[in-house]
Amino acid sequence: MAYNHINASRPDDGNALVAFSSGSLLNIAQGKFGKNLDESDARWVGAAGVDYGAVIVKADAPWNTLGELVADLQKDPTRYVLGAGGGVGSQDWMKAAILMKSSSVDPRSMRYVAYEGGGEALAALMGGHIQVYPGDVGEMKGQLEAGKVKMLAVMSPERLDGEFAAIPTAKEQGFDAEWTILRGYYLGLGV
């Protein structure tokens, strides 16, 4: 909505700095903002940083490694429900699909539930409505510290430093599943 709003109503408003993520870029690439809007319809200010995808389960989930989860998904990919804050084709869905594909499971066989955002998906995970949340590392810091979730893998090319250093990457565990989330800002094209 923001991309369309800036282009239609505020293309020359220098005070309308808008945050974006790679999810926004994915939507642009898929033409979800309309066939007449593409990446050239914004003044890209710059990147603010990156985050990475993560495979997240409840703290009391039976899996302690990504390999254990994948073994169960390979037996029956319809038994467990994955869910996140984005519909089919979104970056959260892509994280789930990449995990499935790297596990030799057809992504079309997974059960995936789309939520309005990460908060709803996290509530669904905590409530047992989904068993796997392909979320973002950065948004789980508080939940990890509180002992409410386990992060089975980060979807980064290398193990992260600092407080996430103990969490192995999917690649380390034998799964070619990476997802980098770019975050940054843009202005209307007329600025």
Whether residue 134 sits in one domain with residue 60: yes
pLDDT of residue 71: 97
Domain-located, residue 143: yes
pTM over 0.75: yes
Domain-located, residue 177: no
Domain-located, residue 54: yes
* 191 residues of the chain, pLDDT tens digit each: 788 888 889 999 999 999 998 888 888 888 887 777 888 889 999 999 999 999 999 999 999 999 999 999 999 999 999 999 888 878 889 999 999 999 999 999 999 999 988 899 999 999 999 999 999 998 898 999 999 999 999 999 999 999 999 999 999 999 999 999 999 999 999 99
Phi/psi of residue 57, nearest 5 degrees: -135, 165
Domain-located, residue 173: no
Domain-located, residue 11: yes
CA separation for the pair 141, 122 (Å, rounded):
13
Whether residue 76 sits in one domain with residue 98: yes
pLDDT of residue 173: 97
CATH code of the domain containing 83: 3.40.190.10
Please give the tally of structural domains in the chain.
Answer: 2
Proportion of the chain in helix, strand, coil states, percent, rounded to 5:
35, 25, 40
Domain range for 39 is 2-48+182-188
Which two tokens mark 28? Answer: 């642009």
Whether residue 156 sits in one domain with residue 76: yes
Q: Computed over its alpha carbons, how large is the radius of gyration of the chain?
A: 18
pLDDT of residue 6: 87
